[in-house]
Amino acid sequence: MTEHGAGNTTAGDEPRSERLKRIVREARLRSQMASLPSGVPGEEHDFVPEPTGLQGLAVKSICTYGEVSQAPTTPEDMQQSQVAYASTALGPVFVSYGPMLADGDHLVEEWESFMYTSNGTLYNNEYVMVLRFEGDDVAEFHLHQDRHHVNMTYGQFDWTDPQPVTEPRRLTGNVPMHPGEIETPFEIVDQFDVDPAMLRDPVPSDEPAPVDASGGVEGNRALVLGLRRAMASGDPSAVDRFYGRGFRYFIAGELPFGWDHLPLEEIYAPLVEHLASPLTFRYGAVFADETRAFERMVSFARLDDGTVWHNWHAIMHEVRDGKIVQTREYFDTSHAWATLGRWASWGNTPPQLRTTPRRSNLQGIAMTVNYKPNEGPDLDRWKPFPPVD
């Protein structure tokens, strides 16, 4: 597996990073020609893109990061509840994608979705996905999203809320796992116990970052690797030097998350109060381009009531002039609500079903496409025309 760097070779005059972007972009464009039944005689087809963000891409393995709500009785009931909500759609699901980041054999992309429904509920989720390629084929698809929004929205149809867990969690999907104390779906390259006092909002500093972050792909990668070392040191002032003026931290989800999230100290106060073991961070490789750096992390701790905090984080950093000026984080919000919300003051005010769009997680829209929800709806205007004699 190429974690980063070594895969950035060229095929002819096309850098590999640009080739991977083109493969994904062209598959999505082709998918739009088959997203609804054709009305032209002789052009019948039954292809409908999967509603996962892949939009026509074939993939060998899929991994979704989230605490999944359960139907009250059987998997068949859960499928029926999915159909019930999707059947309220008034039209296709619209999906907007931000600029792609490609490094080695990996491609990272943020996106958001919209589905307007007849019952007034808006499904408006925020995502980041990671694709790992083998040659020109997608070997792995990893998806992070606001899982609490999924559970709450589809939960109108008899889903039950997730409960705290007592053992390390298992992911949904068939991506090969890396063995260890806690199995992980990506290779761990850094690991340390973090001082709980470091769970705080950074305070941007005018001092230069304590690493040589001269820009570009390698400079941006070095900046994030240096930030990890500063976190491990337990020195807040060293961490603050990595952040520039105007810095803003986004966490996908509704309050207490979002663009105007509660202070991180307040979000994580229940975790710190109930720790019964070290809080361990495990990091994967850093992927970078000229303006951004992306990393994945696993956080784990045992709590004093016998439950565990075990979350998966996907973090995109925007870098300008050798400083991080914006961070966008995606983790399992459902696990946060189930584990921390029961103790937190913010847990007393759960989010409500959406009827209007929230502020976008995207900093630019590179492409917008649509698809018909696979579970429904069975609307006449989306059915093939009847045969004509």
Query: pLDDT tens digits, residue range 44-58?
Result: 665 555 556 677 888
Whether 213 shows a pLDDT value over 80: the answer reads no
- Spatial contact of 53 and 367, defined as CB atoms under 8 Å apart: no
Lowest mean per-residue pLDDT among 26-40, 148-162, 205-219, 255-269: 26-40
- If phi > 0 it is left, if psi is from -120 to 50 it is alpha, else beta; for residue 155 that is alpha
Count of C-beta atoms within a 10 Å radius of residue 42: 5
Q: Which helix (H) or strand (E) holds 311?
A: strand 308-320
- Tokens of residue 166, six digits: 């007592």
DSSP class of 271: H
Q: Highest-confidence range of 2-6, 9-13, 106-110, 374-378, by mean pLDDT? A: 106-110
pTM of the model: 0.91
- If phi > 0 it is left, if psi is from -120 to 50 it is alpha, else beta; for residue 210 that is alpha
The pLDDT value recorded for residue 126 is: 98
Helix (H, G, I), strand (E, B) or coil at 9: coil
- Spatial contact of 291 and 285, defined as CB atoms under 8 Å apart: no
Q: Which class for 292: exposed (0-12), middle (13-18), buried (19 or more C-beta within 10 A)?
A: buried
Cα–Cα dist 147/125, whole Å: 9
Cα–Cα dist 116/112, whole Å: 14
Cα–Cα distances (Å) from 210 to 10, 136, 198, 285, 295, in that order, read: 34, 38, 17, 20, 19
Lowest mean per-residue pLDDT among 129-143, 156-170, 230-244: 156-170
- Tokens of residue 354, six digits: 């959406």
- If phi > 0 it is left, if psi is from -120 to 50 it is alpha, else beta; for residue 56 that is left
Cα–Cα dist 310/324, whole Å: 26
pLDDT-derived band at 70 (thresholds 50, 70, 90) equals low
The pLDDT value recorded for residue 32 is: 80
Selected residue with higher pLDDT from 18 and 374: 18
Long-range contacts of 48-52 (CB under 8 A, 24+ apart): 48/371, 48/372, 48/374, 49/371, 50/371, 50/374, 51/93, 51/371, 51/373, 51/374, 52/141, 52/143
Q: Classify strands 93-97 and 367-371 as parallel, antiparallel or unpaired.
A: antiparallel
Q: Give 278-316 pLDDT, tens digit per residue.
A: 999 999 999 999 999 999 999 999 999 999 999 999 999
Cα–Cα dist 243/206, whole Å: 9
Selected residue with higher pLDDT from 78 and 176: 176
pLDDT-derived band at 85 (thresholds 50, 70, 90) equals confident
Cα–Cα dist 77/81, whole Å: 6
- Spatial contact of 118 and 90, defined as CB atoms under 8 Å apart: yes
- Mean pLDDT value across the chain: 88
- Spatial contact of 6 and 33, defined as CB atoms under 8 Å apart: no
Count of C-beta atoms within a 10 Å radius of residue 256: 24
Angle, nearest 10°, between helix axes 75-86 and 147-154? 90
- Tokens of residue 25, six digits: 């972009």
Cα–Cα dist 249/242, whole Å: 13
Cα–Cα dist 301/278, whole Å: 6
The pLDDT value recorded for residue 1 is: 37
Sign of the C-alpha dihedral computed for residues 270, 272, 273 and 275 taken in this order: positive
